[in-house]
Amino acid sequence: MMGGIVRMTQHSALARASRSRVPACCSARYNLALLAFFGFFLLYALRVNLSVALVDMVEPNTSLAKNVTSNVCPEHSSTINVPRNTTGEKYSWDADTQGWILGSFFYGYIITQIPGGYLASKIGGKLLLGFGIFGTSVFTLLTPLAANLGVGYLIAVRALEGLGEGVTFPAMHSMWSSWAPPLERSKLLSISYAGAQLGTVVSLPLSGLICYYMNWIYVFYIFGALGVLWWFFWMWLVSDTPEAHRSISHAEREYILSSLKDQLSTQKTVPWRPILESLPLWAIVVAHFSYNWTFYTLLTLLPTYMKEILRFDAQENGFLSALPYFGCWLCIILSGQIADYLRQNRNLSTVCVRKCFTLIGMIGPAVFLVAAGFIGCNYALAVAFVTISTTLGGFCTSGYSINHLDIAPSYAGILLGITNTFATIPGMVGPVIAKNLTHNNTVGEWQTVFYIAASINLFGAIFFVLFASGEVQDWAVSGYHLRRNWK
């Protein structure tokens, strides 16, 4: 036991010494994080722009039932007296149809999660991630045409976008299993995945402005074109592994490879049974499912809540809907730095950091989300509580969200594919359930939506704290297969 502690101490000291010789600035691994950041920025911009555009795509008299709260809460007026563009096509889609349109993305998204993780482990994540975003961008460009052809075509195109996006997170996790030194995982992954939140921050208000001044079709044309442009840079600058990178320094390559040498498996086959029997994996599954219920419900329906309950117009709606995700983006960046600081300099165990950050990132949002339903027409408090709720959720990125790399670096893409498959279910059913619960669009109905999300969050946090692990599992290293055969 003492020998193990000594080796861990020596390994930690060597790792710190190596890091001092391999600065982060302009390094290949941080360049990868930055390019991934922009990729996920566009990925979420492509995902959420429909949430704002849909408000403009639907005829007012066929949208939701008359809002009972509108008799209580006075309507806000825009501070910018510029005539609104009204040339965009309008469609007669009722509340249920809108719910299916918003949820259709996830029917494609759920299909490619596990196959994406498996393919990334075989052929590398570069091509999967690149073509996943490229395909999503192309189908986004086709969205206005699909809407004109009919609601069935629009649902099909959104499902195809989901197919493209489904491979992206498993592919990125798979790449980080070869690129991220253990004591830099929180920093590197938080930078790359924080792009998703900033994409939401920019996309929501920008989509509102485009709808207001131009036409809702340009929401899809602009973001789709940017996604295609990003693809060229990704294919040109990125490599699957440090060994294959054209311009990485020798010192950085050796630092990354030496830090990972005892954590990766050379086994060609995937240990499916031990993976599926792993309780730490199911702890991540439950936490991921629970967090995403709240995240996807707000992501798809927050613009509707802002319009129908708080009664902000399209311009204010876009900016205020984005505010919670700006807070989340800041929290993700800061929590990644704090998590690795606690592990490196305060000697907190990995599992302790992951559990603490997950608790903060799930129980905190649950409390403030419930509170948001009880403040009546106090607009400032409503926006503040929803913002705090979503901001605190950013802690989860350094909690359960990267725990796959802690317990099985070699199979991180596959593990994320498994957990994200379950975590996609809330995106499929959450908006539909919420739309069905808010037919009359009253404060009481939205309180029910918030109650459900908070309860699921609380359960997921408790389950993760009880059963999560921070150690590489036996089945995730090469020797496990040899020991099983010997026994």
**pLDDT of 101-141, one tens digit each?**
887 888 888 899 999 999 988 888 999 999 999 999 999 99
Neighbours of 247 (CB within 10 A): 8
pLDDT at 154: 94
pLDDT value of position 75: 65
Provide the pLDDT for residue 368: 86
Q: What is the pLDDT of residue 61?
A: 56
Tens-digit pLDDT profile for residues 411-451: 999 999 999 999 988 877 877 788 788 777 777 888 888 88
The pair phi, psi for residue 85, each rounded to 5°, is -75, 130
What pLDDT is recorded for position 299?
A: 66
pLDDT tens sequence for the chain (487 residues)? 334 433 344 444 444 545 555 776 778 999 999 999 999 999 999 988 888 888 888 877 554 444 444 455 666 554 545 556 667 788 888 877 887 888 788 888 889 999 999 998 888 899 999 999 999 999 999 999 999 999 999 999 999 999 999 999 999 999 998 999 988 988 999 999 999 889 888 887 888 888 888 888 999 999 999 999 999 999 999 999 999 998 899 999 999 998 888 777 667 688 899 999 999 999 999 999 999 988 877 766 766 676 777 666 545 555 776 788 889 899 999 999 999 899 888 788 999 999 999 999 999 988 988 887 787 667 778 778 888 888 999 999 999 999 999 999 989 999 999 999 999 888 778 777 887 887 777 778 888 888 898 999 999 999 999 999 999 898 888 655 434 433 3
